[in-house]
Structure 1
Amino acid sequence: MSGVDFEQVMQAALAADAGVAGIVSRRIFPLSAPKGAPLPFITYQRVSGAPEAVLDGDAPCERISIQIDAWAKTYGEAKRLAKAVRGVMAGAEFAAELDEDRDLSDEEARVCRVSMDFIVWA
């Protein structure tokens, strides 16, 4: 991953996965979705990141906390998308670990969301 942001690698891995692409096509956005983006889609954001410290300086890897949200019209669809995302994150070259997830909804907007926090060593 040298010279490339982890987020670019992660987004490419999600977009390349047939299960994820079958649900969201290429609707995977940093921070927030564009206004009017059709559901379902994925948003992601880096929550924190810090280089791993070792005795002789910084290690060549970084501990990253990243939040990925699966957005859909129905709870079932949001859960299916979240399961596909977890599969990619666990099986990709960077092998992220799910730290926690939570189910959310916005009744006014009529949107369901599964928000997942991953820890990644990249």
Structure 2
Amino acid sequence: MMEEALIALLLSDADLIEIVDGKVRPGRASQTDLAPFVVVQVIDKNRSYTMKGHSGLVRSRVQIDAYADTYAQAKEVSRIIEARLNGYKDTAFKAVFLEDHRDLPAADAGTVTTKFRSSLDITVHYGEPQ
């Protein structure tokens, strides 16, 4: 549920949509997706517990990767995402914070690619049914 809400939040940003044309994907991009596009994946999910069980609070680390044909465009997309999410809160999200921002090759070591990737790690605090 958090993942879908986070993707919906990104898809509600007009500046982002103008650049990526709605290509914000969970887990991986489609083979037919042309850059630029965004991939969102949960890295970990930590539930808070009390002596009575699950408190209903969750902290998840999410990696958001912006892929593009140029370095400048990958950075532009990641900056739009950072501006949208860092410090964000509403009824679905207690708080969202940027933890890390790095530039990486668009593929694993040894694979040649012409794509650029700018990667964000965010922490999302949210409630979950007990």
**TM-score normalised to the size of structure 1?**
0.89
Deviations 1:25-72 (A, max 9, x none): 210111110113111000011100021122432211211011000000
Moved more, 98-107 or 74-83: 98-107
Please list, as runs of the form range in 1=range in 2, the aligned pairs for 1:35-54 lying within 5 A after superposition. Answer: 35-54=31-50
SS state at 1:82 partner: helix
Separation in structure 1 between the aligned mates of residue 89 and residue 104 of structure 2, nearest angstrom: 26
State how far apart, in whole Å, the 2-side matches of 1:92 and 1:21 are. Answer: 21
3-state SS of 1:96 partner: strand
Please provide the CA RMSD for this pair: 1.5
Partner of 1:73: 69
Residue 115 (structure 1) aligns with: 119
Taking only the aligned residue pairs, the percentage that are identical comes to 28
1:25 and 1:92 map into 2 onto residues whose CA distance is 25
Distance 1:92 1:112, change over 3 A: farther
Matched length = 118
Q: Is the 8 A contact 1:13 1:92 kept in 2?
A: no
Gapped regions of structure 1 (runs ≥ 5): none
Q: Which is worse superposed, 7-16 or 104-113?
A: 104-113
